[in-house]
Amino acid sequence: MKAESIFFYMALNSVLLKPVAWMMTDFTRDINWGFKGPYLAGMIQILIPLEHSAWSMLIGK
């Protein structure tokens, strides 16, 4: 399968699933802007690639 086909299907699925994400969101709750909110999520997402690269070095791939 070509890369363009994979990208197209991923983009199509993201557009089709967007209403589901909107329905699952509770807009009545406040957004936690403190350290346990988006800042913690950002720090965790920075650590994920580091973990993957560490495992790759241990496995040898």
Average pLDDT over residues 10-36: 93
13 pLDDT band, cuts 50/70/90, is very high
Residue 37: CB partners within 8 Å, gap ≥ 6? 31
Residue 6 CA to residue 59 CA, distance in Å, equals: 28
Q: What is the pLDDT of residue 61?
A: 59
Sorted by where each begins, the domain ranges of the chain are 3-59
The structure's pTM equals 0.47
Q: What is the pLDDT of residue 54?
A: 78
